[in-house]
Structure 1
Amino acid sequence: MGWMGKIVGGTIGFALGGPLGAIFGTAFGHAFDTGSELDAPRGGPRLSRVEQNQLTFFVAAFSMLAKLARADGRVTPEEIDSIEAFMEKDLRLNADSRHAAVNIFRTALNAPGTFDDFARQFYGEFHDQPQMLEVMIEVLLRVAVSDGSMTVKEEELIMVAVNTFRFSSVRYNQLKSKYVKTADKAYAVLGCSPDDDDDQVKRCYRQRVQEYHPDKIAAKGLPDEFTRFAQDKFREIQEAWDQIKEARGIK
């Protein structure tokens, strides 16, 4: 994510308005231009569309996680530990990216923008990219349960994202069951049910593989660190399929 350093240093231009732009501008000292775009070098190079998507995803993720951490009115040491573990173990952020993520997270904790605001702007950017919406929902779920359980208030916020994203409630419950023991995890990963016949399970597997193939995800505009998260998801799909095949005797 080398472009992050260029943005922070003011050597490359970009456009990120709305509540997410306010978070980034406050976190890194950028001024606002006409209230819709962050200040940038006049006539200088600008982020590509993919890089712009990566910036939006990165800022939205850590802004929404900050509001999720404050869901019960305060941020506990355990919640901070879970966010740091997510940065280190799941995303494997380098020093620059980690510093940027921490700045965004801390800024969003006390910012006037709400979780709803961030979710709406994120959906406006990625409404036609269902994989991006699903990755965000799963990021929220993973962090919410990383301290051992998901509180009612945390799930209420996640459901705000589910509803804002017009995300399938069935698919949400399947994702949730990967982290909260409510169903068979392998079937949840593929987006199907233990009651489905072999043909339906195969169809679900093929669809998930197509959606999360690394080459396809790489072209969507996820930041590099979240691309690795999606690659882990792809491996998880393969492992779930292998487990179900063995259990059902599918050749």
Structure 2
Amino acid sequence: MLIAIIAGALIGASFMGFSGALLGAVVGYWIAQLLAMALRRGNLGQIQSQFLDSTFAVMGALCKADGQVTRDEIRVAEELFTRLRLSDTQKDDARRSFNRGKQADFDLDAEVAKFVQVARGQRALHQMFLQVQIAAIAADGKVSSAEHAALMRVARGLGLSEMEIRQLEAMLGARGAASGDTGGDGMGSRAGVSPEDQLKQAYDVLGVSPEASDAEVKKAYRRQMSQNHPDKLASKGMPESMREMAEQKTREIGAAYERICEARGIN
């Protein structure tokens, strides 16, 4: 941007002196802004495309991690196509990606690394990526040790911390995934979870310990809501089709905070 401003100023000065330099600098600034915007838009499309491609390829690999892909897992993948409101073309692409991930020669680590490279620095997108994988392999109520090991491998490849992984797993447990239930208030009320476990899940969702102060809990809640706001994620490359999942995550964060406030008597 600085180069464009200087170049504009020099060109303007050569024709109109000082006033031309000012005008040239302004023109150079706006040209730089337009170029930067074009680059961001191009990169955004690349991130969105890679997100969907890698999401379903990795999903296929995780479902095949225990040696076979069950009918339930295929059904879950198909339901996810519908939930994400993919077009017919996108569904065909997703199926191809899913089948690619099932192949014996599929390089799981390389696929995750490819996504990380494209979505460089977008940590919230990395979390969303893993959230989709957790929901997919656990939706049938069964997660084998091989699937869990592969999931942790993906999490490490994404560079997520143990705390971030626990947060995502807590959200999964909170929504009653073991029974295939994704409704309720997002904190286990329809999954037969005890009040004590619901409260523990709530702290895990916010990423704080039960010993945290009220101020620390509120700060964690605001940080989580800011980082996971659907509009912010979309601006960083999350496909629009995944907005519903992002909105569900913010509802779960809100429900977790309300649960903690209720237990602490915070108004």
TM-score (norm 2): 0.70
Provide the aligned C-alpha RMSD in A: 2.0
2:49 aligned partner: 55
1:87 aligns with 2:81: yes
Is the 2:61–2:102 Cα contact (8 Å) retained in structure 1? Answer: yes
**Residue 112 (structure 1) aligned to one of 105, 108, 117:** 105
Distance change >3 Å, CA 137–CA 63, structure 1 → 2: same
Unmatched tracts of structure 2, length 5 or more: 1-40, 175-196
- Counterpart mapping for 1:1-251 below 5 A: 48-89=42-83, 91-110=84-103, 112-180=105-173, 184-251=200-267
Give the superposition deviation at 1:230.
1.2
Amino acid at match of 1:248: R
2:21 aligned partner: none
Give the structure with the larger helix fraction: 2
Higher RCO, 1 vs 2 (CA within 8 Å, ≥6 residues apart): 1
Amino acid at match of 2:156: N
TM-score (norm 1): 0.74
State the SS of the aligned residue for 2:142. Answer: coil
User: Residues of 2 paired with 1:173 and 1:212: CA distance?
Assistant: 16
Deviations 1:170-217 (A, max 9, x none): 221232133348872222222222232211111110100110123211
Is the 2:46–2:118 Cα contact (8 Å) retained in structure 1? Answer: no
Amino acid at match of 1:98: K
User: Residues of 2 paired with 1:234 and 1:210: CA distance?
Assistant: 9
State the SS of the aligned residue for 2:89. Answer: helix
- What is the percent sequence identity of the aligned residues? 30
State the SS of the aligned residue for 1:61. Answer: helix
User: Residues of 1 paired with 2:266 and 2:89: CA distance?
Assistant: 46
User: Residues of 1 paired with 2:79 and 2:230: CA distance?
Assistant: 24
Amino acid at match of 2:116: Y
User: Residues of 2 paired with 1:127 and 1:155: CA distance?
Assistant: 25
Amino acid at match of 2:91: R
Larger Rg: 2
Is the 1:186–1:244 Cα contact (8 Å) retained in structure 2? Answer: yes
User: Residues of 2 paired with 1:161 and 1:127: CA distance?
Assistant: 16
State the SS of the aligned residue for 1:250. Answer: coil
Give the superposition deviation at 1:234.
1.6
User: Residues of 2 paired with 1:83 and 1:139: CA distance?
Assistant: 10
Unmatched tracts of structure 1, length 5 or more: 1-46
1:23 aligned partner: none
Is the 1:127–1:165 Cα contact (8 Å) retained in structure 2? Answer: no
Is the 2:61–2:106 Cα contact (8 Å) retained in structure 1? Answer: no
User: Residues of 2 paired with 1:148 and 1:220: CA distance?
Assistant: 32
User: Residues of 2 paired with 1:147 and 1:136: CA distance?
Assistant: 19
